[in-house]
Amino acid sequence: MKIGIFDSGIGGLSVLYEAMHLLPHEQFIYYADEKHVPYGEKTKEEIIGYVDEIIQFMIERDCKAIVIACNTATSAAVSIMRKKYHIPIIGMEPAVKKAVDLYGKQKVLVCATPITVKGKKMLDLVERVDKDHLVDLVALPKLVRFAEKQEFNSDEVLAYLKEALSKFDFKEYGSLVLGCTHFNYFKDSFHKLLPQVHLLDGNLGTINYLIKNIELEDLESSVEYYYSGQRVLGKELQRIECYLKRLEKMKDIGK
Ligand code: DGL
């Protein structure tokens, strides 16, 4: 059986990337909801509808577990979907606890989409782990659009980040949590602006949790890609290859 991984777009490829390394004998379906990206600017109800449709799509294709490789969709829909479906549904959790545990002598900046930043899941998480009030939150919705256009380190990206982060005094921060899977493509730009700050994401934690919840198989590794239900084949796969190459480049930045 397969493992389904999905995101509003290409951000979740960073989770797939991790999964392919840790689970070399599994088969994956990757679904990017390109018709509806960005989720971070939609309503919660709209996101629940999209997620429901994708989970049904994956169940019809015999997935044994589903990873919501999107912090925004997790925030809006994971608890409802877990009540509705009876296969393991793994969500994303921004690495806030890890940041506080490892670098909690200094402040922690968490960036995500507006839905994730304002969502109850994030507020509960911060309340649970941020005993010393070190955590600040910031929404960076434009990064999702830049990532979808494959614009990763242009002058526009840097200017946007500079402006959006201008109210934070970088000297006070020890870590930055990438609370949106699309943000993994910008590690070099974040690192340029905040060279002394550690960059953390929740991808490894998510895949480790997936591993605990599935029966492992010994299959020949493969991935089927879909854009909103349409199989991605032939030349179109080149776009996905570009993202995977970019992730390879980003992987050790800010560790
Ligand atoms: N990649 C997504 C996340 O992790 C959402 C981006 C979006 O569609 O706004 O939050």
What is the identity of the amino acid at 207?
I
- In angstroms and rounded to an integer, the radius of gyration of the C-alpha atoms of the chain is 17
Instruction: Give the pLDDT of residue 27.
Output: 98
56, 79, 160, 215 from 85: Cα distances, Å: 9, 10, 40, 18
Verdict on whether the full-model pTM lies above 0.95 = yes
Instruction: Give the pLDDT of residue 117.
Output: 96
| 111 catalytic residue (yes or no) | no
Report the atom number in ligand 1 closest to the C-alpha of 41.
9
Q: Which residues contact 101 (CB under 8 A, 6 or more apart)?
A: none
Q: Does the Cβ of 40 fall within 6 Å of ligand 1?
A: yes
What confidence tens digit (pLDDT) does each residue in 28-59 have?
999 999 999 999 989 999 999 999 999 999 99
Q: Does the Cβ of 210 fall within 6 Å of ligand 1?
A: no
Distance CA 174, CA 98 (A): 12
Longest Cα–Cα distance of the chain, Å, equals 52
Instruction: Give the pLDDT of residue 160.
Output: 98
Q: Give the strand pairing for 107-112 and 89-90.
A: unpaired
What confidence tens digit (pLDDT) does each residue in 75-131 have?
999 999 999 999 999 999 999 999 999 998 999 999 999 999 999 999 999 999 999
Chain mean pLDDT for the chain: 97
Instruction: Give the pLDDT of residue 253.
Output: 95
Percent of the chain whose pLDDT exceeds 90 = 98
Q: Does the Cβ of 116 fall within 6 Å of ligand 1?
A: yes
Confidence of residue 143 (pLDDT cuts 50, 70, 90): very high
Distance CA 255, CA 249 (A): 13
8 Å CB contact between 151 and 157: yes
Which tokens in the block code for residue 223? 């991935």
Instruction: Give the pLDDT of residue 227.
Output: 98
| 180 catalytic residue (yes or no) | yes
What is the identity of the amino acid at 89?
I
Q: Which residues contact 114 (CB under 8 A, 6 or more apart)?
A: 40, 41, 139, 141
Pocket test for ligand 1, best of 18, 181, 185 (most atoms within 8 A of CB): 181
Distance CA 82, CA 45 (A): 16
Distance CA 184, CA 178 (A): 7
